[in-house]
Structure 1
Amino acid sequence: METETVVRNLPELPQDVLMDIFSLLEIPDLMRAASVSSSWRSTYTSLCSQLKLYKRPQTPCLLYTSESAGENVACLYSLAEKRVYILTLPDPPIRSRYLIGSSHGWLVTADDKSELHLINPVTGQQIALPSVVTIGYLSFARVGDCKWTLLTPDWDYDQCIYMDGLLYASTRAGKMDAFDLTGPTATRNIIADEIAIHSSPWGDLLQVCRKAELIDAGYEEPIVKTNKIFLHKVDMEAQELVEINSLQHNVLFLGRNQSICLSAEEYPQLKANCVYFADAEQYNWMYKTNPRDIGVLNLEDGSREEIVSPLWSSWPSPIWLTPSLTVLNLSLYE
């Protein structure tokens, strides 16, 4: 007896209902939904034109390279999906560049000629930035500028955070300055002498210090493994640090990226009271073939685990990247 399968067209949901559903999807699921049908594609396009309706916070991904993947290829490991995406990036080859940082879905890279670029790793879009001639000094450029403007002759700034209209910058020695860039001339205020900074979801600034051990694993130099994280909250009024032992229900991401501290309640794929870390020091260029310092540290019991194993990442050092629909949307209207 033959069984006949009858396929009927299911009724389409109204676009406003689809918009509400799509606005809760992470970007990979949103892109898949857009390919289901012409009406779903239309809903996706409408959502891209009304980004204020897109409510879903994105889970950070780990961007890294490997020699076997190719000179222009980067791998993007999704913590939400626990899978790897392969991305082909424009010239110059990503494996010949330095990853300076990441923010709002963009990568900031520098090549061996000190040429800077912004890269959208998902679409391959690349924007040239003014060349940099000084290393370790703090400069800024507004949209349309053809050169960098030096903020201060001081040097050795290591972390920057833009918060409440001010650019906070700290040095490796712990000094913190605040710069107001809203006027025609930037103004600077010295906040403290011994504070390094990260922002938190509850509005505090945090000092975060790593403790690492050197392990002789048979390479040219000992490899670095993070084994302890120290946290302090910045008391702005008292100009002092207050030690804290827990992130509670929050998650911290450390590396050569924009500082990220998230609520695990909004990101169920992430582990609360844990620190996700990747290489932080750029001196790793001297030991490009050494294994990278990547992992998850549990602040409650001090245990360490791998992000994904095996993950053999070579030069450049891995970096945390948060996908952005705003950045993806820019490429639709070029």
Structure 2
Amino acid sequence: MEVVSLSAAADWSGLPQDLLLAIMAALDVPSLVRSGAVCTSWSDAYNTFRLPALKQAPCLLYACDEYGPNYAALYCPSTNATFRVPYPGPLHEKRSFVFSCHGWVFATDEVGDPYLLNPITGVQAALPPVKTIAVRGENFFDNDGKHVLDLESEDENGDPKTGIVWARESEYARVAISPAAEVTACTVLIMHITRFTLLFARPGDKRWTSLPDFETCVKDVLYNDKDGLFYVLHNKGSIHALDLNGSSPSVTKIMRNVTRASVANMYLVVMPSGQLLQVWRMQNNIDVPLKNHVSYKDVVRVALQNCIDLANKNDSDKLKETVTDDEQQIDVEEEELRDNEVNTTEVLVFKVDANRQKLVEPRDIGEYTIFLGFNAAVWLSTKDTTLEANCIYLMDDVDSPSYHPMLRKDLGIWNIKKRSMQKLGDAWPIMHSWLDLPAPIWITPNFASTACLASPIAGRAATTAPRATTRSGRRRARRRR
């Protein structure tokens, strides 16, 4: 019998690529990333597996029954692959994904305290607790009526009991994060929805620091790594630049108001050149008659004179048939959710011309796409990808005025040329069913070495992810009971 040496038996570099691909499909995400550094043949297989697309295009992060309470699903629309990633802690419905920036998820725990989570590595970093936010007027109670936290010094008797879900889901409206090699060096800027107050902190700080109130309502915040500044978008289109690099914050107004009325959802986007964009998203309740939907002409009517150059103002504005997904019908048990259910009916993109103090609408965005939702907006080239050009990938980020969990349904791909929405169920059939809590969000995965990341928070131990999977089958949106 031929004797095989130990060194020869340990040589895995000669494995056929199809076998390597099968092995990689069964690895957890961190192990999968490390496998690409084993040898040249493994690196080639890793590139063939197309995981690098995860580093370029945002993925959908959401909770599902299939992966249990300690894990979340990460779906990559550019590869149709779904991965299981760590999400340790309480049950899904007792915490939330609030926002995502640069691969970090701004999440909240059972009592609404925020922290940063890298869902790829499982690493977490503590942020100051919600009690240190200097905003008066809110008390929070758990679902059993037990008082959890008090943000005001006055007697709480007679005050309405605000559900703890509100503290977890809606206390923080928008988030911007400055990237850094060490997460403890990054700055986190949040918009507190109760008073539309801006606050900032760094991981490890004891308290949040409040910024002076602005004269108008804040709609979005963004960090621009081209100039190291934060930008604040207001409800009538004005923009402020915010410098948090010095000993004291400085604020500069760079764009005036451009409309007489507020737009429902407004976003800031930064292009690779540093050029700022504004995106306006109009949504209507599903029960509102089509003739009463906010239209392109409505935007023209509220625009201030000489403040917006519209590319399509002379085009006909025919009422479009709403796009529906027959797999997302509301049953009797979910009737109470109808009050919060909306459809996106119009999306407009503008370049910010600060020199002329105007917004300029381009005819299209060419071979690019934008990802919007509860995330720092992502501008991405569609070259060499399966993503659709001249489109906007939208997640449902409508506020929940009832302070109750809601099943997110207004999500899909907005075609800028056709001015219409392709619903998610038609666009991406290879997904698990998501839960109503936490709300699904876009995230650009960050595979940075754990040596560059903060240590796990006590009581929330980081954990490696189990096996990555690719699954097929139609997704059926539903609500967990």
TM-score band, normalised by the shorter chain? Answer: 0.7 to 0.9
Residue in 2 that maps onto 1:62: 60
* Residue 315 (structure 1) shift: 1.8
Matched ranges for 1:249-264 at <5 A: 249-264=367-382
Equivalent of residue 169 in structure 1, options 232, 239, 246 = 232
2:343 to 219, 225, 234: 225
Please state how far the C-alpha of 1:225 moved relative to its aligned partner: 2.0
Q: Greater share of strand residues, 1 or 2? A: 1
Determine the C-alpha separation between the residues in 2 that align with 1:100 and 1:224: 20
Letter in 2 for 1:316: P
RMSD of Structure 2 on Structure 1 (CA): 3.6
SS of alignment partner, residue 400 of structure 2: helix
- State the partner residue of 2:35: 35
Counterpart AA for 2:124:
Q
2:300 maps to 1:302 = no
1:272 deviates by: 0.9
Corresponding residue to 1:187 among 232, 250, 253: 250
The residue type equivalent to 1:256 in the other structure is F
The residue matched to 1:272 in structure 2 has which SS? coil
**C-alpha contact (below 8 Å) 1:227/1:297 kept by paired residues:** no
Measure, in 1, the Cα distance between the counterparts of 2:273 and 2:109. Answer: 37
Query: Would you say the 8 A contact 2:373–2:441 is kept in 1?
Result: yes
Alignment identity in percent? 30
Structure 1 alignment gaps of length 5 or more: 1-6, 13-27, 45-53
1:205 Cα offset (Å): 1.1
Structure 1 contact 160–167 (Cα < 8 Å) conserved: yes
Distance 2:74 2:35 in 1: 21
Query: The residue matched to 2:388 in structure 1 has which SS?
Result: coil
Describe the shift of the 1:274–1:43 C-alpha distance in structure 2 as closer, same or farther (beyond 3 A).
Answer: closer
Give 1:110 shift. Answer: 2.1
Deviation digits for residues 198-254 of structure 1 (CA, Å, limit 9, x no counterpart): 212343211111123322554222421223211111110111111223111110011
Answer yes or no: is the 8 Å Cα contact 1:173–1:194 preserved in 2.
yes
CA distance in 1, matches of 2:198, 2:454: 33
Name the residue aligned to 2:211: 151
Q: What is the TM-score with the length of structure 2 in the denominator?
A: 0.55
Gaps of 5+ in 2: 1-8, 15-27, 45-51, 136-191, 259-265, 288-328, 457-481
Aligned match of 2:393 = 276
- What is the alpha-carbon distance in structure 1 between the residues aligned to residue 78 and residue 388 of structure 2? 11
Contact 2:54 2:444 in 1 (8 A): no
Q: CA deviation at 1:74?
A: 1.7
TM-score (norm 1): 0.77
Structure-2 separation of matches of 1:56 and 1:119: 17
In the alignment, the residues of structure 2 paired with residue 39 and residue 300 of structure 1 have an alpha-carbon distance, to the nearest angstrom, of: 46
Aligned mates of 1:33, 1:149 — CA distance in 2:
37
- Please name the residue that 2:290 is paired with: none
Larger radius of gyration: 2
1:111 to 98, 109, 112: 109
Judged with a 3 Å threshold, the aligned counterparts in structure 2 of structure 1 residues 280 and 87 are, in CA distance, closer, same or farther, namely same
Change (3 A) 1:233 1:181: same
Q: 1:33 to 1:71 in 2, by over 3 A?
A: closer
Contact residue 58 and residue 324 of structure 1 kept, 8 A: no
Alignment CA distance shift 1:93-1:126 (3 Å): farther
